[in-house]
Amino acid sequence: GALPAAEVATLVRQVAGALDATHRAGLVHLDVKPANVIVDEAGNAKLTDFGIARAARDSEERELVGTARYIAPERVEGRPVSARTDVYGLALVAYELLTGQPAFPGAENEDLLRDRLERGAPHIRSAEPGLSETADAVIARGLARDPERRYPTAGAFALALSDAVNDPVTRVLRPLIASSASRWPRIDTLLALGVVLAILIGVVLFFAKFPSATIGGNPTAAPTAAVAGVPNVIGMRLMDAIPALQRSGYEASWDFDAKLSGAPCTVQREQPAAGTIAARGTRIALTYVPGSGCVPKSD
């Protein structure tokens, strides 16, 4: 079945870290699929089976090898492959983890490959309406038929997905729809959503009309800082994780731990943890695997 959106974002981030390292080495995996993602007892995702990986510069593919359900359109058409080919596979993995079903459910290889070229992947909200339009757009871009329209790196896709699934709309509506689907007819579900949306709109309008209102009733009190969920940067290189936090309005501090396992310079712990509601400007403590050139140079 479908996994919680925040858990999917974490797993995708970890797989993206492995893919980005593979791409920096000049290789393309070419067989990114759920069966090749192993999650250990600690909840860490590992990408396996590099049996058909090959150099990105080797653009000629003599034989179409891989799993038809997860093959990118450019491979079906015999076009060159790149890191964006693996981004497509990672987006298919994210789709399946978020919905509990593959984007292309056909049984025959020929049908699966034809669907990829003629119809493209369905919008994820048709299978999981509790996800936000932003999350839908992120998955759709990752599954774009034209590689140039996809995210340039697996890490960029993972960061966008993390931001999307941690937005307030997804956090409120997805659990509501999941719990109501098994108890109420569809019309009751829609009515319940209407009530929730009406309440949210009322709250927004109230604070728009009375922006200085505070719980304590003190009209001179300074407005509280905006809050949001802390982005998930686990698995990212420290040099990428710091600006990712800064773009979301947070500060960062960092230190290494020689006991950690993982690729050099990758973040393995963050505190407060990803998804924690924290005020903008909060300092996020990052712990990374030591390596050469991990720490950004001072200006």
Q: How much is the pLDDT for 168?
A: 55
Amino acid at 139: I
Provide the token pair at 54: 């090959």
DSSP 215-284: TT--TTSPPPPPEEEPP--TTSBHHHHHHHHHHTT-EEEEEE-TT--SSTTBEEEEESPTT-EEETTPEE
Stretches in the chain below the pLDDT threshold 70: 51-66, 107-108, 167-228, 298-299
Closest C-alpha to 175, from 57, 4, 21, 293 = 4
Instruction: Look up residue 279 and give its two tokens.
Output: 């005020």
User: Any residues with CB less than 8 A from the CB of 155 and at least 6 apart, and which?
Assistant: 13, 16, 17, 20, 236, 240
pLDDT of residue 206: 58
Structure confidence at residue 23 (pLDDT): 92
Nearest-10 crossing angle of helices 168-181, 5-24: 120
Q: Give the pLDDT score at 231.
A: 86
Residue 233, token pair as written in the block: 């940067």
- One-letter amino acid at 187 equals I
Provide the whole-model pTM: 0.56
Q: Would you identify the CATH topology of the domain 227-288? A: Trypsin Inhibitor V; Chain A (3.30.10)
Q: Identify residue 272 by its one-letter amino acid code.
A: P
Q: How far apart are CA 160 and CA 231, in angstroms?
A: 10
Q: pLDDT digit string (tens) for 174-183?
A: 444 444 444 4
Each domain of the chain, given as residue ranges in start order, spans 5-166, 169-209, 227-288
C-alpha angle 253/279/225, rounded to 5°? 130
Can you state the angle between helices 133-142 and 168-181, rounded to 10 degrees?
Answer: 100
| Domain 5-166 in this protein, CATH class | mainly alpha
Identical fold between 5-166 and 227-288 = no
The pLDDT value given to residue 277: 76
Q: Measure the CA dihedral 50/233/57/143, to 10°.
A: 80
pLDDT at 95: 96
The confidence score (pLDDT) of residue 55 equals 53
Question: Judging by beta carbons within 10 Å of its beta carbon (0-12, 13-18, 19+), is residue 92 exposed, middle or buried?
Answer: buried
Question: What is the pLDDT, as a whole number, of residue 135?
Answer: 92
Element (H, E) at 286: strand 283-288
Catalytically annotated residue among 31, 86, 115, 240? 31
- Is 146 in the active site? no
Residue burial 232-264, b: 16+ Cβ < 10 Å; e: rest: bbbbbbbebbbebbeebbbebebebeeeeebee
Residue 17 has what pLDDT?
Answer: 93
Residue 227's pLDDT is: 57
For tokens 């936090």, the residue is 245
